[in-house]
Amino acid sequence: MSKKKRLKRIVEAIAEMGAGKFYYHIEKSSKKDSIDALISGINMMAEEIGEALLHEGYVNSNETIKHIVLMNFIIDLDGNVKAVNQQACDILFYNCLEIVGGSFDNLLNKRSTPKWKRHWDMLKNKKMLDTSIALTFKTKSGLLLPSACYINKLGGKKNGEESIIVTVVKHSKRQVELEEYLIAKENNKKESSKKNNPLTLMDNRQKVKLSSSDVIKIREVRDYFMDNLEMDFPPIKEIALEFGTNAFKIKYGFKELYGVSVFRFIRNERLRKAKMLVQGSNISFKKITQLCGFKSVPSFSATFKNEFGYTPKELRRKFLAENP
């Protein structure tokens, strides 16, 4: 690809971002030069902004509607697109007639094609009925769209009448990190269901508005917790004062931004760190207890087992057995 064309792609992507669409990626060449590096920087920035938009969008939900972008394809047993929704055509910059009748893998980036082909073979052999894979689409103008694709095989009345449906959604970080999501769900069922359904974000209840400087402070407090998990933390009131805000904003803000109470957040992060050290190192459990801020080895062990279903000893043994 010529330099002119590469720069054109960069400008296109930047224009899309200016229009609020941060889910496009720019394709790199194999030159590994400064332009490729710049492209990487822009792609990474788009990911961060896209992520930040989701959080900010939730915090100020009385002003912003959260869109979950959706593409749907119905594919026949030959791998050709039978039907597609309008939004998919818009996102990929194709006319619907250009997509329908063509092979599904024409819409994919070259790197994703082998992955699709592998899954396609498995689908046709009925080895799987429901699955999900990460595929990257390529728009008509050459922009990339990394997507989580949910693939379902739909049965028909007779053999040969089956269809494959491919659904693409853009989801928030919380849903990708399954563990965190499950933990949050246990204790904040109302909050999670609200987060999953964008329509209910526009509810009539008066929400406290957090300013962007509030959000910055809350993130600073979060960083403080993350960097000092071995500590016995002072009361939130004191911490809030030190960071120049108040306890209510910290408690409320944590629930809004991270979906859990401050207490639960700290507990989850301690357990996450502990799990990593248990699985990934030979450090004594006594040392891990200290490093993660637990009161004693027995209480650490009990909390650990409660959370993960195994004691630290059992999990370490299991991990080592499965990962020699």
CB of 280 to another protein, least distance (A): 4
7 part of the interface to another protein, by CB under 8 A: no
Nearest CA to 301 out of 185, 36, 310 is that of 310
CB of 31 to another protein, least distance (A): 10
- What's the number of CA atoms in the CB half-sphere (13 Å) around residue 124? 11
Structure letter (DSSP) for residue 94: -
- Closest CB to another protein among 102 and 146? 146
- Taking CB under 8 A as the rule, which mask of x and - marks residues 31-50 in contact with another protein? -xxx-xxx-xx--x--xx--
Residue in this structure with the two tokens 């204790």, named with its chain if needed:
187
- Taking CB under 8 A as the rule, which mask of x and - marks residues 196-225 in contact with another protein? ---------------------------x--
- Taking CB under 8 A as the rule, which mask of x and - marks residues 129-168 in contact with another protein? -----------------x----------------------
- Closest CB to another protein among 125 and 323? 323
- Closest CB to another protein among 52 and 97? 52
11 part of the interface to another protein, by CB under 8 A: no
CB of 174 to another protein, least distance (A): 12
Question: Residues 222, 297, 312, 289: is their CA dihedral positive or negative?
Answer: positive
Q: What distance in Å separates the CA atoms of residue 79 and residue 77, rounded to the nearest whole number? A: 5
Q: What distance in Å separates the CA atoms of residue 210 and residue 44, rounded to the nearest whole number? A: 26
CB of 227 to another protein, least distance (A): 4
Residue in this structure with the two tokens 């990190």, named with its chain if needed:
177
CB of 41 to another protein, least distance (A): 5
- Taking CB under 8 A as the rule, which mask of x and - marks residues 241-280 in contact with another protein? -------------------------------xx--xx-xx
The enclosing H or E element of 163 equals: strand 163-169
Query: Tokens representing 161?
Result: 């009448």
Amino acid at 110: K
CB 183 within 8 Å of CB 265: no
114 part of the interface to another protein, by CB under 8 A: no
CB of 231 to another protein, least distance (A): 13
The angle formed by the CA atoms of residues 90, 167 and 12, to the nearest 5 degrees, is: 30
Long-range contacts of 278-287 (CB under 8 A, 24+ apart): 278/304, 278/312, 278/315, 278/316, 278/319, 279/315, 279/316, 279/319, 280/319, 285/312, 285/313
- Closest CB to another protein among 48 and 161? 48
Question: Residues 266, 270, 273, 276: is their CA dihedral positive or negative?
Answer: negative
* Site residues for another protein per CB under 8 A: 32-34, 36-38, 40-41, 44, 47-48, 51, 146, 173, 176, 223, 226-227, 272-273, 276-277, 279-284, 287, 323
